[in-house]
Amino acid sequence: MKILWRRLDRTGHEYLELLREGPGWLLNGVAIFEHEKQPCRLDYRIACDAAWTTLSASVAGSVGERHVDVTIRANGGSWTLNDQAVPAVDGCIDVDLNFSPSTNLLPVRRLNLKVSDKASVRAAWLRFPTFTLEPLEQSYTRLDDRILRYESAGGTFVAELEVNESGLPLRYGNIWEADAAV
């Protein structure tokens, strides 16, 4: 599966290719957008097991003139960022890339909620533009077959998430919208 998103709140696009990798999954993407009048390009790869649990993630590129090169590893509930332990996110199952709609796929697929079901998750959130790894409490409520209500930070942020049959976001609030998908 391949998808191209367009930013609605600023100039930008993102391309994602979802691939089978052995028994698991690989999210391979690139986000190109504007941040504080600076061009940004962030290439990312996220490896998951068959149950959609994050195994690793990498982000490389630039934010303006600043070079970015981040490697995240999840191992049995403990996490590292560039080979440094991050105990604050121990026990998290999902990585969440703050700049991308793609990582909503992970809990959507893993939770497989039925209509009106709600689930809370705690994600290892790669914050943009600091690229620090922090815990983020999130919840997903299935409103119908294709719409979920997403909440984070204790309800401070709320967005409707429209997904396709694979669980990839077609629309993420007023921030991202799919222009093309195959």
Distance between CA atoms of 26 and 47, rounded to whole angstroms?
A: 5
Strands 176-181 and 169-172: antiparallel
Please name the residue ranges forming H helices in the chain: 105-111
pTM: 0.95
> For 38-50, what is each residue's pLDDT tens digit?
999 999 999 999 9
- The pLDDT, as a whole number, for residue 66 is 98
- The pLDDT, as a whole number, for residue 154 is 84
- The pLDDT, as a whole number, for residue 155 is 86
Distance between CA atoms of 72 and 123, rounded to whole angstroms?
A: 13
- The pLDDT, as a whole number, for residue 153 is 83
- The pLDDT, as a whole number, for residue 76 is 85
> For 135-160, what is each residue's pLDDT tens digit?
999 999 999 999 999 999 888 999 99
Half-sphere exposure of 47 (CA within 13 A, CB side): 11
Task: Going residue by residue through the chain, which has 182 residues, state the pLDDT in tens, using 9 for 90 and above.
Answer: 999 999 999 999 999 999 999 999 999 999 999 999 999 999 999 999 999 999 999 999 999 999 999 999 999 889 999 999 999 999 999 999 999 999 999 999 999 999 999 999 999 999 999 999 999 999 999 999 999 999 998 889 999 999 999 999 999 999 999 999 99
Cis, bond preceding 107 (omega within 30 deg of 0)? no
- The pLDDT, as a whole number, for residue 30 is 98
